[in-house]
Chain A
Amino acid sequence: MHESKSSGAKNIELALGSTLSRRSFLKILMMTGAAAALPSTGLLRSFSQEGPAFGRATFAGLGAYQTFRNACPRNCYDTCGIVSYVKDGVLEFVEGEPTSTYTDGGLCVKGYAYPRTVYSPDRIKYPMRQIGRGSGNWERISWEEALDAISGKILEIKEKDGSLLGMALTKYSGNFGITHYGVEGMLSSLGYTTRFVGTPCWPAGIDAQNYDMGNMWCNDPEDMVQAKYIIVWGANPAYCSVHSLKYIYEAKKRGAKVVVIDPVLTQTAVKGDEYWQVKPGSDGALALAMSRHLIDQGLVNRDWAAANGLGYDEYEAYIKANVTVEWGAEQAGLPVDVVKRVAEEFAAADPATIWIGYGMQRHVNGGVNVRAIDALVAMTGNVGKPGGGARYGHLFTWGFNYNAMVQAAPEGSVGYTGATGPKGEFDTGQGADATASYTDRTFNINKIGQEILDAQDPPVRLLWIANKNVVSQDFDKNKIVKAFEKVEMIVAVDLFFNPTVEQADIVLPTVTPFEDWTVNVSYWHYWLHLNEQAIKPLFETKSDIEIASALSAVLNAKQPGSCTFPQNIDAKEMMIKEFNDGIYQLFGITSWEDLRKGAAKAKLPSSASWSDLKFATPSGKYEFKSEIAQTNGHTALPEYKAGREAYAPLRLLTPHAKHGLHSQFQNLDWMHDLNPEPLVYVHPQTAGAKGIVDGDTVRVFNPTGEVRLKAQLTNNVPADTLLMYEAWFSAKNTFNVNLLVDDVSSDMGAYKTGSPGVAIHDQFADIEKVAA
Chain B
Amino acid sequence: MIAQTPSLRSLSRFFFAANAAELQNAYDGLAAEATPPLPVVEEWKAVEFSFNRLFVGPRTLQAPPYASIYLDGDDTRLMGASTSRVRQLYAMLGLASPWQNQIPDDHLALELDALWQIEQALASVSSPQLEDARAYLIARLQAWVPAFVGRIQAAPQVHPAIVAVAGALTRALSTVDHVAAC
Report which A residues bind B (CB closer than 8 A): 1-2, 5-6, 8-9, 11-13, 15-16, 22, 25-26, 28-30, 32-35, 37-40, 42-48, 50, 54-55, 57-59, 88-91, 115-116, 119-126, 128, 130-131, 136-140, 497, 501-502, 535-540, 668-669, 730-732
A121 and chain B: residue at smallest CB distance: B64
Q: A120 and B76: CB pair below 8 A?
A: yes
**Chain B 100-155 interface residues, beta-carbon cutoff 8 Å to A:** 100-103, 109-110, 113-114, 116-118, 120-122, 124-125, 127-136, 138-140, 142-143
Q: B136 and A13: CB pair below 8 A?
A: yes
Give the one of B84, B96, B97, B120 with max A CB within 10 A: B96
Q: A2 and B52: CB pair below 8 A?
A: no
Q: Is the interface of B mostly helix, strand, loop or mixed?
A: helix
Q: A8 and B45: CB pair below 8 A?
A: no
Contacts A43-B109, A58-B90, A136-B58 hold; do A2 and B96 have CB atoms under 8 A apart? no
Q: A2 and B140: CB pair below 8 A?
A: yes
Q: B49 and A47: CB pair below 8 A?
A: no
B75 within 8 A of A: yes
Question: Which among A5, A26, A124 is the interface contact of B57 at CB below 8 angstroms?
Answer: A124
Kindly provide the distance from the CB of B38 to the nearest chain A CB, expressed in whole angstroms.
22
Size bracket of the B interface: 35 or more
Give the one of A2, A48, A501 with max B CB within 10 A: A2
Q: B125 and A44: CB pair below 8 A?
A: no
Question: Which among B77, B113, B120, B128 is the interface contact of A43 at CB below 8 angstroms?
Answer: B113
Instruction: Give the chain A neighbours of B136 by CB distance below 8 A.
Output: 8-9, 11-13
Q: A2 and B88: CB pair below 8 A?
A: no
Contacts A6-B139, A131-B45, A730-B60 hold; do A15 and B71 have CB atoms under 8 A apart? no
Contacts A42-B9, A48-B94, A121-B61 hold; do A115 and B77 have CB atoms under 8 A apart? yes
Instruction: Give the chain A neighbours of B124 by CB distance below 8 A.
Output: 37
B93 within 8 A of A: yes
Q: A731 and B58: CB pair below 8 A?
A: yes
B2 within 8 A of A: no
Q: A140 and B91: CB pair below 8 A?
A: no
Instruction: Give the chain B neighbours of A90 by CB distance below 8 A.
Output: 79, 83-84, 101
Instruction: Give the chain A neighbours of B49 by CB distance below 8 A.
Output: 131, 136-139
Query: Once bound together, how far apart are the Cα atoms of A38 and B96, in whole Å?
Result: 12
Q: B140 and A1: CB pair below 8 A?
A: yes
A139 and chain B: residue at smallest CB distance: B48
- Further 16 A-B residue pairs, CB within 8 A, beyond A88-B101, A136-B58: A2-B142, A5-B139, A22-B92, A29-B94, A34-B130, A37-B122, A39-B117, A44-B96, A44-B113, A55-B96, A88-B84, A89-B101, A116-B77, A122-B61, A138-B56, A669-B76
Give the one of B64, B90, B110, B121 with max A CB within 10 A: B121
Instruction: Give the chain B neighbours of A535 by CB distance below 8 A.
Output: 101
Q: Is the interface of A mostly helix, strand, loop or mixed?
A: mixed
Kindly provide the distance from the CB of B172 to the nearest chain A CB, expressed in whole angstroms.
15
Kindly provide the distance from the CB of A497 to the nearest chain B CB, expressed in whole angstroms.
4
Instruction: Give the chain A neighbours of B180 by CB distance below 8 A.
Output: 6, 8
Give the one of B77, B89, B116 with max A CB within 10 A: B77
Q: B143 and A32: CB pair below 8 A?
A: no
Instruction: Give the chain B neighbours of A11 by CB distance below 8 A.
Output: 132, 136
Instruction: Give the chain A neighbours of B116 by CB distance below 8 A.
Output: 42
Kindly provide the distance from the CB of B66 to the nearest chain A CB, expressed in whole angstroms.
7
Q: A139 and B96: CB pair below 8 A?
A: no
B7 within 8 A of A: no
Give the one of B9, B59, B83, B95 with max A CB within 10 A: B95
Instruction: Give the chain B neighbours of A125 by CB distance below 8 A.
Output: 56-57
Q: B103 and A34: CB pair below 8 A?
A: no
Query: Once bound together, how far apart are the Cα atoms of A535 and B78, in whole Å?
Result: 14
**Chain B 20-58 interface residues, beta-carbon cutoff 8 Å to A:** 20, 45, 48-49, 52-53, 56-58
Q: B133 and A39: CB pair below 8 A?
A: no
Query: Once bound together, how far apart are the Cα atoms of A536 and B127, in whole Å?
Result: 36
Instruction: Give the chain B neighbours of A2 by CB distance below 8 A.
Output: 139-140, 142-143
Q: A32 and B125: CB pair below 8 A?
A: yes
Question: Which among B113, B114, B125, B132 is the interface contact of A9 at CB below 8 angstroms?
Answer: B132
Q: B20 and A121: CB pair below 8 A?
A: no
A57 and chain B: residue at smallest CB distance: B100
Contacts A39-B120, A497-B59 hold; do A45 and B98 have CB atoms under 8 A apart? yes
Q: B19 and A139: CB pair below 8 A?
A: yes
Instruction: Give the chain B neighbours of A45 by CB distance below 8 A.
Output: 95-98
Query: Once bound together, how far apart are the Cα atoms of A59 and B75, in whole Å?
Result: 28
Closest 8 CB pairs of A and B: A8-B135, A731-B59, A34-B127, A12-B136, A37-B121, A8-B132, A58-B91, A89-B101
Kindly provide the distance from the CB of B118 to the nearest chain A CB, expressed in whole angstroms.
7
Q: A497 and B94: CB pair below 8 A?
A: no
Query: Once bound together, how far apart are the Cα atoms of A330 and B101, in whole Å?
Result: 62
Q: A1 and B143: CB pair below 8 A?
A: yes
Contacts A12-B136, A121-B64, A122-B59 hold; do A136 and B53 have CB atoms under 8 A apart? yes
Q: A35 and B94: CB pair below 8 A?
A: yes
